[in-house]
Structure 1
Amino acid sequence: MSGINRLDIKQLRVLQLLLQERNVSRVANVMGLTQQAVSEQLRKLRGMFDDQLFIRTSNGVVPTPLAESLEAQVNQVIQDIEALFSDRTFEPSTLEGVFHITASDYALMTVLPALLDAVNKAAPHLKIIVRDFESDALNKLMLTGEVDLAISFPHFIPETCPSMFLFHEQHVCVVSKHSPLAGQQLSIEALAPHPQLIISPSRANLKGSHDHWFGEKGLRRNVVMSIPSFSAAPSIIGESHLACFLPSRLLPNDHLAKVELDELPPCFDVIAAWHQRSSNSPILKWMLAFMHEMFVEPQALEQTR
């Protein structure tokens, strides 16, 4: 019997997911199967290809050279099969179901208000759930379908996830509008010893994203306070003597005033990311196109990983 008559789509899907996740239990979870059922499909694949395909380790499985060589072809075959069943007349106004978004505190304030309003008008029957951003669990949440789209900074997105560039952002230095530093011009050497607040949404510590930037200049910044939320920062800064670096799109704010520095830290990117298993989802493709139109400036290049 030829190979094509012995191989079914479920086995191809098992092979694809094992190549992606390298863990039998995670593949079983995604496919709604038992680990025993996944192992049985793997046994059949081994017989068809006359190769071990995956070697068990303490952390999961490792593909053999033959299995790795099959990945691109398997992905293409499954993509072509999924295309057979895709809706050729995609119409947002008739969309139903639930779309799950996770967004950083910053994205909740700067990206989602306009995006959710526009999506609701274009697809009024599509329900949206926005959940807290959990960077440590993000890959698992997207793999299991609990999150369809993540909006954050590249640092918090797993490198294995495809992504789309939205826009560049710049941190600026702010203080209370009542501070003696309000509106002043200051060197970073003068700023470094001044008490500073940082926003650390994923780790409760006093390590800020600009510590390395100060360190490259031989400076040690005086971080004295850390909070987990951008949304709380203006009120806290406004009632304190602390300086803070905030993304420029969070300004202006009635509580705050800028400090003009002789040099600003490097710009950073804001991106949308998803799990590669969802790349062919019509709803995801539409959402990404929608976001590209709303946020990506014409002169900016779309950046994907």
Structure 2
Amino acid sequence: MGNVMSDLTTDNQTKPAEADTHLRNVDLNLLTVFDAVMQLQNITRAANMLGMSQPAVSNAVARLKIMFNDDLFVRFGRGIQPTMRARQLFGPIRQALQLVMNELPGAGFDPNVSIREFNVAICSPLDKRLTSHVLNAVENLSTDVSIKLQTIVNDNIEHQLRYQDIEFMISYRKFDRPDFCNEALFNDELVLVAAQKHPRISPYMSDEKYLKEKHAVMMLDRFYSFSSPYYDDPEMHSLIAYQGTDLSSVMEIVSKTDMVALVPRWMAQASAGILNLSVIPLPWMKNSLTCYLSWHESSSKDKGNMWMKSLLSQCILSL
């Protein structure tokens, strides 16, 4: 029994030492190179950001490939593209580096010297209302900080936010999960639009008449389309006669048919005169839409992300 306990004690004492030895054999400076190359997906730009020569960064990438036993980056056009393994590594490595950087003396984010690019997903039709304001707000900073916006949002958005392929999402939907953060920005009113020549539509519409009309909607994706919750019920879903990928196209179709569509009031008012549409209030239903700024909680450890969150909030709330 004594020998068995002695063997167990020896094993427990040597395992941490072995792990520590393995970590000491790793050049942790390579991880900052990996982080920069993943962010910029360009060796030259990563070298400039790190204050290193291009050959030095290329050499570091070669060592990283050996360390992780993967190509990590492959040529793509004029730049490079991360492999699946690189994407899997990026989130944990970035979070670990941010935890260390945030504890260093003088740690912070200075937009005046940063060349960082932020990626933001903005769901339609909010892109029509907010994109120009966001782009102009960043442009007016007169720095090398840049922002890239995309409107293609699908079920992969949670993964993209978690691993910071995308830092933020602006949408009418929020994430009801403890590891995601949501900030309410403003409320929009939802209205009904129909062609002015529609034979049955009037400003005094009722819910009974509403339920007898054929409806045009954006594609019913749980993130992409704000109208999904209104058509979850089978009875409501049976009213759909047309699904489009863009709300502007939906409204144009409505203007030429006897269909109706749910639309944010600001968009209805902007297009009503051009398309000869009637705008009808919806007093019989919950017609308030909240616009949210959402991000994964891991982003909260990144001071650059929190700076961008503040900028996005300010420029949108100032509209």
> What TM-score, normalized by structure 2, do the two folds share?
0.60
Tell me whether 1:291 sits opposite 2:295 in the alignment: no
Taking a change above 3 Å as real, the CA distance of residues 77 and 185 of structure 1, as seen in their structure-2 partners, is same
Tell me whether 1:229 sits opposite 2:250 in the alignment: no
Q: Is the 8 A contact 1:95 1:125 kept in 2?
A: yes
Quote the residue 2:192 is aligned against. 173
Larger Rg: 2
| Structure with the largest fraction of helix | 2
Q: Equivalences for 1:12-161 in 2 at 5 Å?
A: 34=68, 81-85=100-104, 90-154=109-173, 160-161=179-180
Q: Is the 8 A contact 1:166 1:271 kept in 2?
A: yes
Alignment counterpart, residue 185 of structure 1, candidates 183, 191, 204: 204
SS at match of 2:284: coil
Q: Give the Å deviation of 1:268.
A: 2.8
Q: Give the Å deviation of 1:142.
A: 2.4
SS at match of 1:164: strand
Deviates more, 1:85-94 or 1:138-147: 85-94
Quote the residue 2:231 is aligned against. 211
Taking a change above 3 Å as real, the CA distance of residues 224 and 293 of structure 1, as seen in their structure-2 partners, is same
Structure 2, unmatched stretches of 5+, are 1-12, 25-63, 71-94
Q: Give per-residue Cα distances to partners, 1:207-226, cap 9 Å, x unaligned.
A: 943135896xxx88622111
Taking a change above 3 Å as real, the CA distance of residues 276 and 111 of structure 1, as seen in their structure-2 partners, is same
Size of the aligned set, in residue pairs, is: 236
Q: Give per-residue Cα distances to partners, 1:18-63, cap 9 Å, x unaligned.
A: xxxxxxxxxxxxx997499xxxxxxxxxxxxxxxxxxxxxxxxxxx
SS at match of 1:293: helix
Q: Give per-residue Cα distances to partners, 1:44-98, cap 9 Å, x unaligned.
A: xxxxxxxxxxxxxxxxxxxxxxxxxxxxxxxx99876331348656443443121
Q: Is the 8 A contact 1:138 1:157 kept in 2?
A: no
Taking a change above 3 Å as real, the CA distance of residues 178 and 159 of structure 1, as seen in their structure-2 partners, is farther
Q: Give per-residue Cα distances to partners, 1:112-169, cap 9 Å, x unaligned.
A: 2211111211254222222243321112222333212111132578663222211122
Within 2, Cα distance between the matches of 1:214 and 1:185? 26
Tell me whether 1:248 sits opposite 2:273 in the alignment: no
Taking a change above 3 Å as real, the CA distance of residues 220 and 81 of structure 1, as seen in their structure-2 partners, is closer
Q: Is the 8 A contact 2:181 2:296 kept in 1?
A: yes
SS at match of 1:225: strand
SS at match of 2:198: coil
Structure 1 vs Structure 2: percent identity of aligned residues? 14
SS at match of 1:105: coil
Q: Is the 8 A contact 1:165 1:296 kept in 2?
A: no
Q: Is the 8 A contact 1:173 1:243 kept in 2?
A: yes
SS at match of 1:273: strand
Q: Is the 8 A contact 1:194 1:221 kept in 2?
A: no
Taking a change above 3 Å as real, the CA distance of residues 195 and 289 of structure 1, as seen in their structure-2 partners, is same
Within 2, Cα distance between the matches of 1:180 and 1:131? 39
Q: Give per-residue Cα distances to partners, 1:241-284, cap 9 Å, x unaligned.
A: 11111122323112222123442434232111122222122222
SS at match of 1:185: coil
Quote the residue 2:85 is aligned against. none
Alignment counterpart, residue 277 of structure 1, candidates 280, 298, 304: 298
Within 1, Cα distance between the matches of 2:108 and 2:100? 18
Within 1, Cα distance between the matches of 2:97 and 2:133? 35
Q: Give the Å deviation of 1:6.
A: 5.2
> What TM-score, normalized by structure 1, do the two folds share?
0.62
Quote the residue 1:65 is aligned against. none
Q: Is the 8 A contact 1:173 1:260 kept in 2?
A: yes
Structure 1, unmatched stretches of 5+, are 10-30, 37-75, 298-305
Counterpart amino acid of residue 306 in structure 2: K
Alignment counterpart, residue 200 of structure 1, candidates 205, 211, 219: 219
Q: Is the 8 A contact 1:95 1:123 kept in 2?
A: no
